Chain A
């Protein structure tokens, strides 16, 4: 009898031990990965606050500076070329430009895509299945490789070079992935509400505006975030079309340009990167769920 009990107890102990070891392994991996993600942030933040002279004379990375300084951040204003010329630092100009260059196509594109999605989901229209198939087929063609050669079209045929139009106008026509996503969402909306509104004499547009949009706000918000983050972080588009127009710099372009003008001032470059990230990080802290859902949903075209 005694034997049986000890025999039973042993594996259980072992099992508990292995579970505990498993937990330790999990935490260790998660923490190491966290460090891998966070340490690069630390390096630019701490260097941004390091005194220029100390940084310049140091022969290796400074984990903790002896003299803290805000000069790196001040340089972004005081020694900015655009601040001399027009009185506004280039990062501020970039931030304002980024806001409207990003929001305009995102909002209009969402509105237009939503309208099309509403028709696909709820309105009788002959041949709409064919149109929808065409619309979905466009999603399957990967056009990432064409972004450079498209330059010729915008530059020579449309003459939109050095204007933000190539970044704004195409987005305003909506996109297949937006239509696909919003259509799925709209299909879940009860037909009876729509019928009632129809009987009340509301037009297609009126129903879209007063019923569909309010009911689908979460879907629109998720997609807006996806579009906004994409536009805010975009570098290639502004680099192709806006490098020749100083007053039209976007935030990312401004930060990228500062790397050349402050090449001897690493603390200023680090400061510019930190400042450029702050707005999104702050919003992210307050609305992580919205962000994560928005980007998962917006990227997931399945």
Chain B
């Protein structure tokens, strides 16, 4: 690195001489600039491109353990194995379930930020408070909510007067998934509140004044002015939220820790797609099957991403 730097410092004299030719001259400066912009691209190719390419190759291969020299072509056997696996479909179902509750997160963020935009006293305090969960780690959040949902000492049982082991509920295993969702909904709105605040602050106040003169009530104002103005933010938050929902992993492994039978919590109710990929890949050492699950998930998230890009391009056209 230091050699490269020295050479560019020497190269300064050349680059500052006026350049009358139309054709670009490759000075040391431009070479340096080129290297500098290539570094991140090279990093991306090596550390994202190669792993993705490798896992793509695995889709159609057999591999023993983690030894890539044993990779052999096996047609589409991995797909048949995964698609006929009940746990795979279960993981899709649970992932969709968790991703869909991102709407709740979005709704909470919207309601809270609209209320904060009415400038109640203590607004600054509330804003600071509402962001606190967002800076907590998944590990701490999981410990917190496991404790609230605990069968013996949990707060929830104390409030409801029940004695239910929510995380290992033999009567209704779904409470485990709900517990994971609760911990996500507890943590996630902080980001949306901040983003909505910026969007709401950017709405032109003249619009509200004009509509007030026209006699619009506050609901009409909200519906006709606020909602359209913050639509791009809402759309962006929905996209990032659903994307995060689809790739839920750390909360699931923490709240539904892998059991000795390699299930994701009681009755596999914490089995998100990424979690299943993890179990298949690192616990069962069947990376080829893990790749199929991960690629399936990737196609879903990529489709979402393409839809968002298309929509943005359309917006730019207008």
Query: Which residues does A use to contact B, with CB under 8 Å?
Result: 22-23, 26-27, 29-30, 33-34, 36-41, 43-44, 47, 55, 58-63, 112-113, 115-116, 118-120, 123-126, 128, 131-132, 134-135, 138, 140-157, 169-170, 172-176, 179, 198-199, 201-206, 229, 232-233, 235-236, 239-240, 252, 255-256, 259, 266, 269-270, 272-273, 276-277, 280-281, 284, 288, 291-292, 295-296, 299-300, 302
**B208 touches A (CB below 8 Å):** no
Q: Are B309 and A37 in contact (CB under 8 A)?
A: no
Query: Which of B48, B135, B147 is A280 in contact with, Cβ under 8 Å?
Result: B135
Q: How far is the CA of A126 from the CA of B34 in the complex (A)?
A: 9
Collect the chain B residues with CB atoms within 8 Å of residue A233's CB: 135-139
Q: How far is the CA of A145 from the CA of B290 in the complex (A)?
A: 11
User: Chain A interface secondary structure, helix, strand, loop or mixed?
Assistant: helix
**B157 touches A (CB below 8 Å):** yes
Q: Are B154 and A204 in contact (CB under 8 A)?
A: no
Query: Which residues does B use to contact A, with CB under 8 Å?
Result: 5, 8-9, 11-13, 16, 24, 29-30, 32-34, 36-44, 46-48, 50-52, 54-55, 58, 66-68, 108, 111-112, 115-116, 118, 120, 126-140, 143-145, 147-148, 150, 152-155, 157-158, 186, 191, 194-195, 198, 232, 236, 240, 243-244, 246-247, 249-250, 253-254, 273-274, 277-278, 281-282, 287, 290-291, 294-295, 297-298, 301-302, 304-305, 309
Q: Which 7 A-B pairs have the closest CB atoms?
A: A173-B43, A144-B247, A233-B137, A150-B51, A61-B158, A153-B51, A170-B47
Q: Are A156 and B130 in contact (CB under 8 A)?
A: no
Q: Are A295 and B194 in contact (CB under 8 A)?
A: yes
Q: Are A140 and B305 in contact (CB under 8 A)?
A: yes
| With contact pairs A37-B133, A172-B43, A173-B43 given, residues A296 and B51 touching in the complex (Cβ less than 8 Å) | no
Q: Are B249 and A147 in contact (CB under 8 A)?
A: yes
Q: Are A146 and B37 in contact (CB under 8 A)?
A: no
Query: Which of A115, A141, A232 is B137 in contact with, Cβ under 8 Å?
Result: A232
Find the residue from B47, B51, B290 having the highest chain A CB count within 10 A: B51
Closest to B63 in A: A152
Q: How far is the CA of A39 from the CA of B232 in the complex (A)?
A: 33
How far, in Å, is A174 (CB) from chain B's closest CB?
4
Query: Which of A47, A170, A252 is B147 in contact with, Cβ under 8 Å?
Result: A47
Q: Are A273 and B43 in contact (CB under 8 A)?
A: no
User: Chain B interface secondary structure, helix, strand, loop or mixed?
Assistant: helix
How far, in Å, is B160 (CB) from chain A's closest CB?
11
Collect the chain B residues with CB atoms within 8 Å of residue A252's CB: 137-139
Closest to B306 in A: A140
How far, in Å, is A34 (CB) from chain B's closest CB?
6
Collect the chain A residues with CB atoms within 8 Å of residue B244's CB: 144
Q: How far is the CA of A259 from the CA of B198 in the complex (A)?
A: 39
Q: How far is the CA of A29 from the CA of B12 in the complex (A)?
A: 62
Closest to A277 in B: B140
